[in-house]
Amino acid sequence: MPVARMSNARDARDRATGPMIRRRTTLIVAGFAAAWFLPIRAEAPTVRVAMAEADKTRVKHPRPERGFHMPPIALPSIPKAISYKSMGPWKIRSSSNGWKQLRLENNWLFVRGGGASGLRLTDIEARSHGIIMRGSNLPKLRVERVRVVQGRTSSAGGGIVTVWNGADGAVFRDLTYVGDPKRPAPNGSSPWAGIALAGKDANDTGSFSIERFDFSNLVTEPGDRYPNADGISTERGYSGTIANGRVTNASDACLDIKGDVSVDNVYLSGCREGIKAWSDQKHGLIAMGTNRVAAILGAGTPSRSRSMYIETLILDGNPAKPLLRAEKGIFNLTIGTLVAARDQKLMDENSFKGSSVKILRRVTR
């Protein structure tokens, strides 16, 4: 009958195609299983191999660690008709607006005093000259496009600017200081720096921005007294940013930081330590050459630990010099990405017990 013939035909077709469907179903299920399970099983050894291969590769500036970039520093804009002269020291008064477009030489101090708001020192060149300014209580101070070569020193030290007793809203941009290494400050001279935000009193506070700078040869003679000459020094009451510049060859720290200060895109080399840290700190990209004691000298306290985080740290100097030396208390250093030699020493053996160095990602240069 037609119905029986249709039923028999369907049964015959099912018997013929059933194994094919089962095989296809088995393949589909196996495919899903492979897609779900196999990458998980294969991923771990693949990652380990990739990391091992990356560790073998010697790269100088891999992505995203492109390295320190020294920005162009604007030169002072001074008419050619203005010649070099020995001037000062002038007195800063409350009514002072500032000084601009000058060429200075053969003096130890240009301006001093304080109590002026919005004081500006701009477009100044100096050669064989000492400190440009020593001042106090200078809110909204602006020091821009100042260039000192063959910087002289005295018992008061050297550098471009020393400020104490407050400098809220201070701006320092496009600054160059090149000291004369053959004429260092005498041993026992006052602590000094290319830029020093100084003082330990209640009035020694303020916010600041330091950007585009190149400081070198900040030297005090060795002797019985500690040779305290830094690239940039900020006391505890000052908070701000230090970005886009370099410090090389200082008797003490390239950067001596005690307050809430963030550093980004700087190069530090040839100092006693790259950064001397007296507070909890967070920084961006820092590159360092060889510093005599350590890249970071972290000063803790007996009562509490201190910590520092650096997003990217690139070390291209002597790997035998330790990354961290911790003193006076526990200091914990965390680095997002470290680019350094395979045998880079991480911790000074004389560091304060309990201090640590933690590296989240490491790239061998």
Other Cβ atoms less than 10 A from the Cβ of 348: the count is 19
Q: Check whether residue 114 and residue 242 sit in a common domain.
A: yes
Query: Rounded to whole angstroms, how far apart are CA atoms 240 and 259?
Result: 8
Give the per-residue pLDDT at 14. 45
Q: Which residue type occupies 363?
A: V
Please indicate, yes or no, if residue 201 is contained in any of the structural domains. Answer: yes
Domain count, the chain: 2
> Domain containing 152: what range?
84-364
Distance, C-alpha 271 to centroid of its chain: 14
Q: Check whether residue 267 and residue 333 sit in a common domain.
A: yes
8-63 confidence digits (pLDDT tens): 444 444 444 444 444 444 433 334 333 333 332 222 222 222 233 233 323 333 34
Q: Check whether residue 41 and residue 88 sit in a common domain.
A: no
Q: Is 14 helix (H, G, I), strand (E, B) or coil?
A: helix
Please indicate, yes or no, if residue 27 is contained in any of the structural domains. Answer: yes
Q: Check whether residue 142 and residue 267 sit in a common domain.
A: yes
Give the per-residue pLDDT at 66. 60
**Is the Cα torsion angle 347, 254, 261, 205 positive or negative in sign?**
positive
98-143 confidence digits (pLDDT tens): 999 999 999 999 999 999 999 999 999 999 999 999 999 999 999 9
Please indicate, yes or no, if residue 69 is contained in any of the structural domains. Answer: no
Q: Check whether residue 6 and residue 99 sit in a common domain.
A: no
154-167 confidence digits (pLDDT tens): 999 999 999 999 99
Q: Check whether residue 20 and residue 98 sit in a common domain.
A: no
Q: Check whether residue 111 and residue 241 sit in a common domain.
A: yes
Domain termination residue (choose one: 15, 40, 56)? 56
Q: Check whether residue 257 and residue 340 sit in a common domain.
A: yes
**Look-up: residue for tokens 């000074």?**
348
Q: Check whether residue 34 and residue 134 sit in a common domain.
A: no
This model's pTM is above 0.85: no
DSSP string, 263-310: EEEEEEESSSEEEEE-S-EEEEEEEE---SSEEEEEE--SSS-EEEEE
Please indicate, yes or no, if residue 62 is contained in any of the structural domains. Answer: no
Peptide bond just before 89 cis, omega within 30 deg: yes
320-365 confidence digits (pLDDT tens): 999 999 999 999 999 999 999 999 999 999 999 999 999 999 999 8
